[in-house]
Amino acid sequence: MKRILTTVLAASMMLAGTTVFAQNINVEAGFGMSNTNFNALGYKANADLFGGTLGVSYAIPVLEQTLDFSPGVRFGYFTKSNVDIYGYDDISFTETYLEVPLDFNLKFAMSDDMRFVVFAGPTLDLGLTSRIKEKSTSLEYDIYSGELKDYTKYGRFDVLIGGGVAFDVMDAVRFSVRYDYGLLNRNGGNLTSGVLKIHRSQLKLGVGFLF
């Protein structure tokens, strides 16, 4: 997975330097919710974190004016101050991600100034940080490193599948909504290995600027 992520990132940077794709750049800010679902032997919990993403993508024409392939890179930040998981009653939970979406965009002209876009594809997901802080004691734990020893640690890699719809206005602004669901169990081991299943999904509203 790490090799795949590195290859896609390198390819995206190479595309940025070519004039062919200079008019197909989408710089987008997204706002929404990241949901992490915990499920093990009757124990179920959800952590709904709020925040957003900031990223850039490059549209590579497949069928002129109709179908594009659009790889990109996004940074995601999600947090919430009051979450009840892992047996803690009152914690803050913050996560950051590096995402590589690999979307196909199907475009329909609605008028000279507006297009309707349907997009779908996988997103390679690398967890950068995942920390919880217990407010009553001010103790802080890094879930990726396994500091929360009595429970679980996260695996950093995930593959999300999803898509959504968008409206392009005057070839300048894109308004979008998308949903992604994580296919891999993020449980990275410790005492809950093989028992606890952890899946992440996200819902996002986006505003992008097209160049």
List the chain domain ranges. Answer: 2-13+29-210
Q: What angle do CA 203, 175, 113 make, to 5 degrees?
A: 155
For tokens 């989408």, the residue is 26
Q: How high is the mean pLDDT of the chain?
A: 84
Tell me the β-bridge partners of 2: none
> Of the candidates 117, 30, 128, 31, which has an alpha carbon nearest to the alpha carbon of residue 70?
117
Phi, psi of 119 (to 5 degrees): -135, 150
Q: How far apart are CA 72 and CA 31, in angstroms?
A: 17
Architecture of domain 2-13+29-210: Beta Barrel (2.40)
| Residue 27 · residue 58 · CB < 8 Å | no
Question: For residue 19, is it left (φ>0), alpha (ψ between -120 and 50) or beta?
Answer: alpha
pLDDT digits (tens, 9 = 90+) for 11-54: 555 544 443 444 589 999 999 999 988 887 777 878 899 999 99
pTM exceeding the 0.85 threshold for the entire prediction = no
